[in-house]
Structure 1
Amino acid sequence: MKITGDQQLIKKMNKSIVLDTIRQRQPLSRADISAGIGLNKATVSSLVSELIDSRLVTEIGPGESSGGRKPTLLLFNKQAGFAIGVDIRVSDLLAVLVDLEGSVIREKSVPLTDFTPENVVDQIGKTIRLLSRRLPDSPYGIVGIGIGVPGLVDETSRVVSAPNLGWDNVDLAGALAAEFGGNLHIDNEANAGAIGEKLYGAGRDSQNLIYLSIGVGIGSGIIVGGALYRGTSNFSGEVGHMTVAEDGPLCRCGNRGCWETLASEKALLDRAAGIWRDHTPGLEQILDAGKRGDKQALDLLNEIGSQLGVGLANLVNILNPELIVIGNRLSLAGELFEEAMLQTIKNRSLSYHRKKTHVDFAKLGIRSTALGAASMPITAFLTDPDVSVRELS
């Protein structure tokens, strides 16, 4: 019995490898796959036939001949199914419907004023149902759902703490699983953002990167050797609570001088409220003023850029990353504070450490987390193409 079980496991693994090879290198032939992964042609042909029968792979006609019969080329069927990614933020939630290659089909933003778990779960459910209507024709429909949360998420997908939402020990996955099935993934929003930028954005060619989500707070997702680094308890990346000023402002965590009290979007808005006393400008108004050359706005943005550079220099010295990607809402102001930020990194980091480190802004804009969240159920589905999927009404 064990031998049979092992054979089934090996076949499933090989099938997943063949599918991944087609996704990464398409279009290619059966012979190309055999040569690339070391499986014999008969085994590859059998597995490809199964993938065609399951409509995950399609044949597109003959390729170039190398002397014999022209080979039949294969493509991954990116519209065999779809996934939904949700980014829970402190003012709204952003949800995207994507195909199996992460291309956005639809998206929806929903304002949030009531952050109780019950209301957020209700809004997520409504948004998922809305995006799931009138799907393009596909054999698998919605293959799964991923959600990024601005807080600590443990190994069981329980939201241990999300201070900006007022959440403690919330079983978000349990509240949604009854309706939306088992291929449901909950993770910290910065981790999801890091995955999104690694797969689809600025980090596609990088194996070691840090994604910084800079909004109300500062969080990070850390990619090491192409994989997400999670730490012992799944809580890695809380760089916003790195102390950068011993007697600095009081942070919501109870400490003083945390990096996010000096360099986040909230820090920017708090300072702006002290400068423009007749009104409280939002980020967009500060950006508009800076682009018009307003000195107060530019000075404020340069100050935030310098404070960002202080923390980034620490990360460069400690982790020596290949790439740092700055995302979330503060990245919208990147062109206005970039020079001050880079100059501070240069002044405060070790020259050998920063020599090969590049700093960039998120290529996915404010979609990084939603797209990264959507990729999680896609990865799970494609690792096990035989997984059953619940249809959404």
Structure 2
Amino acid sequence: MATSRVNSIEVRKINRNAIYRFLYKHDPISIQEIAQTLNMSLPTVTQNLKELQERDLIIETGLFESTGGRKAKAITYNCLKYAIGLDITRNHVGIVLIDLSGKLLNNVRKQYPFVNSKTYFAGVGNLVKLFIEECKIDSSRILGVGIALPAILSKDKQIVNYATVIDFQEGNVKAFSEFIPYPCILSNDANAAGFAELWDEDNIQNVVYLSLNNSVGGSIIIGKNIYSGQNQRSGEFGHMTIVRDGRTCYCGQKGCVDAYCSAKILSDSTNGNIAEFFRLLRLESGPQKALWDEYLTHLIVIINNLRMLYDCNVILGGYAGAYMDEYLEYLRELVSRKNSFEVDGSYLHVCKYKLEATAVGAALQHVESFINNV
């Protein structure tokens, strides 16, 4: 009897989650359509919808036009849950607010150099508190805070195993959560950005995301899941060697991708302003044009290598990638010349998120957890 009851509870949970996920992915829809599409009985759907409504997770948005009988209710999920995302860099903290759909509602970026001290983490906590107050949202509706770092994390995402961009080696999520009164999750910055790019994509399962920030990173996504690797170090594209005995990388090795394709290679010519670099490039400024041409000779090699390795779409993101829409066709032409098998570079794409992709991806970790556990 006990086993039967447990099984019954589990089945109800599975059905409830299936219905909620279905509503999450669709426009307002009727009870009849839910039952028909999910192959469930009307009583089962009705009971689960009642439970979801009692938990304030779904809402009725009106009535559909009558098809001859009683008008059907239009039902959708309630997006009034929120998540906060942080992008922790060497010199700044980016903060975003997203709703349950993943929509970016508000964002701010503050200059706040990283220091491994309680004073710093208390300051981050204050920035989060002030940001939430300015957003004027009910704090009880906040699912949690996702924190993205330029670091390699432990498997359970609690500990920083490796960090050279910021001084946080062996750091713990507790350093943040001590001053942030919401559930906190750590993410690798490039993995978070890659995760954000695929969040609402139903037709793309596999992708390589190349993050062209002030340090180069990336993520490998297979079946819409991040491939972390044996040691949680997958996607460290910035430390592939592309020039034998080349420039010295910040990691100490020579010839790394990071030394040739970080966004700093471009923005250092305009006092750290990447937007100004691309403005001058459009005007065909000599120094920027020369830098760009050299930059592309290395970038094309990297993109082609990633295509040969993973045979899936490649997305360019990060500070530099966000400005590459207008150069996409040219980039596709260049990579097609390197490719041994394909006549075009249509597999190459530019990121959708031009603003705070990393922080959004970190926040989405809480949204995903919430959806999985409805």
| C-alpha distance in 1 between matches for 2:176 and 2:113 | 20
Give per-residue Cα distances to partners, 1:98-143, cap 9 Å, x unaligned.
1111222222211122432534422321122112226656694211
- Aligned residue in 2 for 1:84: 84
User: What is the TM-score of this pair, normalised by structure 1?
Assistant: 0.87
Give per-residue Cα distances to partners, 1:131-184, cap 9 Å, x unaligned.
22266566942111111111101212111122111221100x222334546732
Name the CA shift for 1:137/1:109 in 2 (closer, same or farther; >3 Å): closer
Give per-residue Cα distances to partners, 1:251-280, cap 9 Å, x unaligned.
22232211111111233356x4xxxxxx95
Q: 1:316 offset after TM fit, Å?
A: 0.6
Q: Give the counterpart letter for 2:287 in structure 1.
A: Q
- Aligned residue in 1 for 2:314: 324
Q: 1:248 offset after TM fit, Å?
A: 1.3
Give per-residue Cα distances to partners, 1:351-381, cap 9 Å, x unaligned.
24x7575222222113211111111111112
| C-alpha distance in 2 between matches for 1:266 and 1:143 | 35
Question: In structure 1, the residue corresponding to 2:337 is in which secondary structure?
Answer: helix
- Aligned residue in 1 for 2:237: 239
- Aligned residue in 2 for 1:307: 298
- Aligned residue in 1 for 2:339: 349
| C-alpha distance in 2 between matches for 1:338 and 1:56 | 41
- Aligned residue in 2 for 1:288: 279
Q: Give the counterpart letter for 2:166 in structure 1.
A: L
Count of residues in Structure 1 that have an aligned counterpart in Structure 2: 372
Q: Give the counterpart letter for 1:56 in structure 2.
A: L
- Aligned residue in 1 for 2:176: 176
Stretch of structure 1 that moved more, 178-187 or 226-235: 178-187
Name the CA shift for 1:349/1:117 in 2 (closer, same or farther; >3 Å): farther
Q: 1:335 offset after TM fit, Å?
A: 5.2
- Aligned residue in 2 for 1:93: 93
- Aligned residue in 1 for 2:372: 383
- Aligned residue in 1 for 2:209: 211
CA contact (8 A) 1:150 1:164 kept: yes
- Aligned residue in 2 for 1:389: none
- Aligned residue in 2 for 1:32: 33
Aligned 1:258-273 pairs, distance under 5 A: 258-269=256-267, 272=269
Structure 1 counterpart of 2:353, from 337, 358, 364? 364
Q: 1:191 offset after TM fit, Å?
A: 0.7
Name the CA shift for 1:258/1:362 in 2 (closer, same or farther; >3 Å): same
- Aligned residue in 1 for 2:11: 10
Q: Give the counterpart letter for 1:351 in structure 2.
A: F
- Aligned residue in 1 for 2:105: 105
Q: Give the counterpart letter for 1:233 in structure 2.
A: N
Stretch of structure 1 that moved more, 121-130 or 340-349: 340-349
| C-alpha distance in 1 between matches for 2:134 and 2:280 | 42
CA contact (8 A) 2:59 2:76 kept: yes
- Aligned residue in 2 for 1:197: 197
Name the CA shift for 1:31/1:138 in 2 (closer, same or farther; >3 Å): farther
Q: CA RMSD in A?
A: 2.4
| C-alpha distance in 2 between matches for 1:78 and 1:368 | 20
- Aligned residue in 1 for 2:133: 133
| C-alpha distance in 2 between matches for 1:182 and 1:137 | 14
| C-alpha distance in 1 between matches for 2:16 and 2:138 | 21
Q: 1:28 offset after TM fit, Å?
A: 0.6
Q: Give the counterpart letter for 2:358 in structure 1.
A: T
Question: In structure 2, the residue corresponding to 1:190 is in which secondary structure?
Answer: helix
Q: Give the counterpart letter for 2:243 in structure 1.
A: A
Give per-residue Cα distances to partners, 1:166-221, cap 9 Å, x unaligned.
221100x2223345467322110111101111125xx5642211222111221112
- Aligned residue in 1 for 2:221: 223
Q: 1:296 offset after TM fit, Å?
A: 2.0
CA contact (8 A) 1:331 1:362 kept: yes
Q: Give the counterpart letter for 2:147 in structure 1.
A: I
| C-alpha distance in 1 between matches for 2:326 and 2:66 | 53
**Stretches of structure 2 lacking an aligned partner (at least 5 in a row):** none
- Aligned residue in 2 for 1:390: none
Stretch of structure 1 that moved more, 41-50 or 182-191: 182-191
Q: 1:349 offset after TM fit, Å?
A: 2.2
User: What is the TM-score of this pair, normalised by structure 2?
Assistant: 0.91
Question: In structure 2, the residue corresponding to 1:59 is in which secondary structure?
Answer: strand
Q: Give the counterpart letter for 1:326 in structure 2.
A: L
Name the CA shift for 1:269/1:60 in 2 (closer, same or farther; >3 Å): closer
CA contact (8 A) 1:34 1:44 kept: yes
